[in-house]
Structure 1
């Protein structure tokens, strides 16, 4: 019975957003309130309050109390929307029951986030609330005059500066639609086609299964927007194939973890955080995609090259011909790529991401009728909507809780103080500020999902980078990259550990291998912070082409240096030359490109000489 109730609520959740997105007739505040109501109800029904005492009487009573603490405040906000809209926030006093409702909602939200993601984000939000309440007792620059009860209630609940802020608005407007879109892709068998296509493209080359993992994870990860979900989905297929081909289990797990993490860096979707970035920066979605495409391709090229060098080093074969998908079936099924093509074309033509996503969902239903096995009728459509809505739940409560942090940080003036302190520490030294930002983002990202990690850093530290004359898009993409690579950064590398579980490999060793395979993602953000040529901004076609070509040569050298193999096994000197050449080539600029080519040529010459000597 409970399972049926969950599916019904999830279905209503998805239909609610598809309908309101198509009709466009619901006020943004009500949309956010309805979005959070559905999401929190599903969390309390789907996630136990305690894994140890999930079915205890106390646990059921607490869950029932949290459901009441969800329905009453959000129901009040929805039903009294006009009255609250006409009220003057921070000036007009609230009634006692309104304070109680605000407290109930905050408590229920923190508990729902704990159930979804663990204690990290609720602790951060709790610390922010304590800071707001006790700020007047904090000495020095971090102190403030404190929040009154009215300010606290209005900031968090009765305005759009806290829980119902920009992050939740993005989740309610864009993110849930793209998650539903990904669910439709999976239900219609398009995800399977991605795997078959990747297999066909790479099977005959050395180490084909690992290259298949890189390509399929890039395709699927861009849509799914979750590194861990990507690992769990594609890793079940790719990791056993890599192990069977001859890769060590730690290496196979690391490849899948790194490739899955990069999915959020790869257009055309890039996960949930990119939509938040649009709202933070005011930059159109299509322009962000354009800026992100070359760094993302460099990332995947580096992983691809490292996989290739490892395969050459181990002399691994490709996928057996008997396991290859039929070429005729692939050609016949190429129409399954139309939904992604539709999104790209619609965005390029200037349509909104919402409209493009809705059209793509419709196209999936249409193309599914070309495959009897995955033909989508009413039942399948409802299942896809239900699965997508359930997948959006954790993002919704995450964004709402992150809104607590962002609201308090901004209203208390902490963001401005933090910027001043960062500038004072860095003494306007851009490199030091970038290093501090990268370290803080990775530390946050070890405990938080990518989206809230990015939101917190974008509020606290990105303004500092912008003040040092870095373009807004470069500063935000810098934070976005490091929020992502936290998934593969030891000692807490959640994507690597998830993959290690599938591969039955040693987690920490897998984590450090993942760090090495994803090394370009730690370097490229520094490069585009100093020179936006990598973001395809402001140069001629010739210059942009030169930047792209030299950067790809650079990541090739970087992969060779990291893997210890180019033509033959590299020496320490050759690895150093290749690493220096890579950095010089990835950094846009004529003189650095010339230096990089000279260093790279020197390494190749040394390799060629040694190879001739041994053959």
Structure 2
């Protein structure tokens, strides 16, 4: 890499951070003139309204959530075009939708007392019309921001609500009048239920926090820190992608958006040191998906988990710490083996941010450290998030080039609201699915089915739950994928005797993995767009890269110590053996073990050892050790050395 190339690469970070929103759908408007000013005023007012209500002046939950939805819908209709080929100007239909959502919000606020008793029970015709209009707007902004997948899935569930009375077996229910159904779904048990509650209180707060991190220079420091730490290692840019995507992705809330944001920097660098384009895109996608598991924010999914389970947020992030580390270890091992096989080197130290300078700016970690400390000290999530936002503001004043004055503060507030639009819409539509599941009782029927499978084999029930979680999550952001899986799958796991938090962590983990699981690997498709590679083949490669992480949720079930349960030594030993298991599985997938190519027999022995290490017991660990020793002996004395694999064989 030439010196001028280095300057252009790291200058690109600033461009990446100033990009307001990830346009994965290709239909974001370029606002200008008076419309842009109106958008900025509404967005800044919306952010300040939420911060004020959350910290100083609580209002009725339904009113707060309806205003939250209204802000998101108005901004979404202004920012997102109806389609890629639509004109840039806001159309008459868009303005009509905007007036409609304002009317729906006003109707709820004015008639709140009566609606609390009527909606979903004995609605009037006007109630039903208002609810239907609100649902149409929710579906439209979700379609514009996230594509057709989630609205179509929600439409299937709605169709089931009306057709279930004609279906046999576990899918049968008694049916519902349309007025009752539509008001129930657009009420506190559907659209305005748990998912939108979390969006209005936590997701928005932490996306604003992420915007302040970017504007204060902390986000850029994360990238510098990652490059300084791992850029010089073999295959360094891939490892930078793993670290930086984890740090940035935990605040992003969508793996696809994170893949585009950080991938615009890391993918070109990976290709420059020798990684194939498809592998580079797949690495970024896999790392970005892992950002949704990264504590303490976990891409906002943890907040939904806390609301659904009633478990304290601090307990969730403590329990999620080791599984998150194991995920990134698995990806790290995979890219490291790839670098070894290809003989890749890192970026020369002179072309990386100097370690001394990076450590001198370590104070930029203060907002994140303060956030974690506040959460673990028992302060509320809202108070902790607000303090962290203020810490970003104060930290920015220490470095003159990042000092946040009134203009930058407004930019951060607007950026936060922009980046909230997609997740807000997704949470509202996910609420429709959750509402249908609750109304029809189909979730309980799936629980009974899982219970029947578990009577035969618990492992089989877990595999079945994994498949359902991945299928339900395909094509959806993590928050929506988890919300749906938590309604359908988690109750069944709890019924068969799996602890509450373990069950929800299991489905959450696989909801995250759905972003890199073909045929609809959303994060891989987004990264492929940056790399210019085939989306489906990139998804296949991302799946292979992440496959070692697929055993982590099973490890969590069979070894509760991995969720910080038990004595300190037991937890440490479980972590060591689990890490070894992931290493062995990665070695098997990549076909590289003990500094040489691993043949088919060695691969099978490594897989067997990895599966034994799922269960943290002395007997299984001993058996695993036997498989490992057998693999080493066979590789050294019986396996014929093979020529170095070609790039085509490695990538395939």
Are residue 345 (structure 1) and residue 377 (structure 2) matched? no
What is the aligned partner in structure 2 of residue 121 from structure 1?
150
1:610, distance to aligned residue in structure 2 (A): 7.6
Give per-residue Cα distances to partners, 1:212-247, cap 9 Å, x unaligned. Answer: 111111111112222111111111111111111112
What is the aligned partner in structure 2 of residue 493 from structure 1?
521
What is the aligned partner in structure 2 of residue 546 from structure 1?
573
What is the aligned partner in structure 2 of residue 37 from structure 1?
70
Unmatched runs of 5 consecutive residues or more in structure 2: 1-33, 643-652
Are residue 370 (structure 1) and residue 398 (structure 2) matched? yes
Are residue 98 (structure 1) and residue 119 (structure 2) matched? no
CA contact (8 A) 2:475 2:515 kept: no
Structure 1 counterpart of 2:586, from 536, 548, 559? 559
Are residue 294 (structure 1) and residue 325 (structure 2) matched? no
Matches within 5 A, 1:549-588: 549-566=576-593, 567-588=595-616
Matches of 2:361 and 2:548 in 1, distance apart?
Answer: 34
Structure 2 counterpart of 1:414, from 442, 449, 462? 442
Matches of 1:428 and 1:281 in 2, distance apart?
Answer: 27
What is the aligned partner in structure 1 of residue 346 from structure 2?
318
Per the normalisation by structure 2, the TM-score is 0.89
Give the stretch that moved more between structures: 30-39 or 492-501. Answer: 492-501
Structure 1 counterpart of 2:50, from 10, 13, 17? 17
Matches of 2:149 and 2:558 in 1, distance apart?
Answer: 33
CA contact (8 A) 1:568 1:611 kept: no
Q: Secondary structure, in 3 states, of the residue corresponding to 1:265?
A: coil
What is the aligned partner in structure 1 of residue 36 from structure 2?
3
Give per-residue Cα distances to partners, 1:321-371, cap 9 Å, x unaligned. Answer: 221112221122101101110111001101111111100000001011121
Unmatched runs of 5 consecutive residues or more in structure 1: none
CA contact (8 A) 1:585 1:597 kept: no
What is the aligned partner in structure 2 of residue 525 from structure 1?
553
Matches of 1:253 and 1:225 in 2, distance apart?
Answer: 19
State the number of aligned residues: 608
What is the aligned partner in structure 2 of residue 355 from structure 1?
383
Structure 2 counterpart of 1:64, from 88, 91, 95? 95
Give per-residue Cα distances to partners, 1:453-496, cap 9 Å, x unaligned. Answer: 21112111211111111111111111111111111112221211
Give per-residue Cα distances to partners, 1:403-436, cap 9 Å, x unaligned. Answer: 1221121122222223223434565532222222
Matches of 1:337 and 1:529 in 2, distance apart?
Answer: 33
1:276, distance to aligned residue in structure 2 (A): 0.9
Q: Secondary structure, in 3 states, of the residue corresponding to 1:387?
A: helix
Matches of 1:48 and 1:613 in 2, distance apart?
Answer: 57
What is the aligned partner in structure 2 of residue 130 from structure 1?
159
Matches within 5 A, 1:247-266: 247-266=275-294
1:305, distance to aligned residue in structure 2 (A): 1.5
Matches of 1:467 and 1:114 in 2, distance apart?
Answer: 35
CA contact (8 A) 1:555 1:586 kept: no
Q: Secondary structure, in 3 states, of the residue corresponding to 2:250?
A: helix
What is the aligned partner in structure 2 of residue 77 from structure 1?
108
Per the normalisation by structure 1, the TM-score is 0.94
Matches of 2:625 and 2:449 in 1, distance apart?
Answer: 40
What is the aligned partner in structure 1 of residue 497 from structure 2?
469
CA contact (8 A) 1:430 1:465 kept: no
Matches of 2:389 and 2:508 in 1, distance apart?
Answer: 27
CA contact (8 A) 1:428 1:468 kept: no
Give the stretch that moved more between structures: 328-337 or 605-614. Answer: 605-614
Matches of 2:170 and 2:583 in 1, distance apart?
Answer: 47
1:81, distance to aligned residue in structure 2 (A): 2.9
Matches of 2:162 and 2:369 in 1, distance apart?
Answer: 50
Give the stretch that moved more between structures: 337-346 or 576-585. Answer: 576-585
CA RMSD of aligned residues (A): 2.1
What is the aligned partner in structure 2 of residue 244 from structure 1?
272
What is the aligned partner in structure 1 of residue 233 from structure 2?
205
1:99, distance to aligned residue in structure 2 (A): 2.3
What is the aligned partner in structure 2 of residue 161 from structure 1?
189
